[in-house]
Structure 1
């Protein structure tokens, strides 16, 4: 089976660089499956896990926004931030989720910017928790 290079890059570093069999990302308009020889495209990403298949193994990576660029022989994910499962502090993610949920439930006199920041914090926390729990199964 053919593969392609997946590179996940943030402003700070290269988080992941490996040959993969397939990739699933969540773009703005929904999930997108990418196989070798996929047509070139660029699309914005949601805050969601990226799932790569390498051989028979599935790798989930928490990616917090950004873009995916599909080229003929590689895919580059330019993320605002990204974390491999082993680098996620689950207790910290759970605490962040709880803080965001409290801020959202006390919305009474918040402005829209604070509400949007709390929604994004909640999405990031849930993504971290989901990626971390997927590797422990």
Structure 2
């Protein structure tokens, strides 16, 4: 089957770099399946799980807290704000992040709409992290 090169980069390190059949990414508009030969585009990512498919099966699941993906017909480069293998997620840490994000969102009640929206994005990403940690 046809493949494309997938690279997942976080500020700390290069987490993944290899040919894959398909990747499902958490685009800001919704989950997006990426296949070889896709039209070039850049998409914003929301907090969620990137699923990597090889030989017809999901072989890797990585949680990203947000970022961008650059898609070309032969390569996908994900620049993640933060990325962690789902198996490494801690339920306690994820729940603590949810509590912090809820407090920040509640504190942003009288702030400018952009600040409230950013706080809501962090809260939604923290909830996705907690859900991914539960499922792991």
Q: Normalising TM by the smaller chain, what interval?
A: 0.7 to 0.9
Cα distance in structure 2, aligned partners of 1:33 and 1:63: 16
Cα distance in structure 2, aligned partners of 1:70 and 1:119: 27
Output the TM-score relative to the length of structure 2: 0.79
Output the TM-score relative to the length of structure 1: 0.78
- Which residue in the other structure is 1:47 paired with? 47
Structure 1 residue 93: Cα displacement: 0.6
Q: Which consecutive residues of structure 1, in runs of 5 or more, have no partner in the other structure?
A: none
Other structure's SS at 2:129 match: helix
Cα distance in structure 2, aligned partners of 1:17 and 1:49: 17
* Contact 1:10-1:81 at 8 Å conserved across structures: yes
- Which residue in the other structure is 1:13 paired with? 13
- Which residue in the other structure is 2:67 paired with? 66
Q: How many residues align?
A: 134
- Which residue in the other structure is 2:95 paired with? 94
Cα distance in structure 2, aligned partners of 1:121 and 1:46: 9
Q: Which consecutive residues of structure 2, in runs of 5 or more, have no partner in the other structure?
A: none
Cα distance in structure 2, aligned partners of 1:125 and 1:46: 11
Q: Name the Cα RMSD after superposition.
A: 2.4
Cα distance in structure 1, aligned partners of 2:37 and 2:108: 47
- Which residue in the other structure is 2:83 paired with? 82
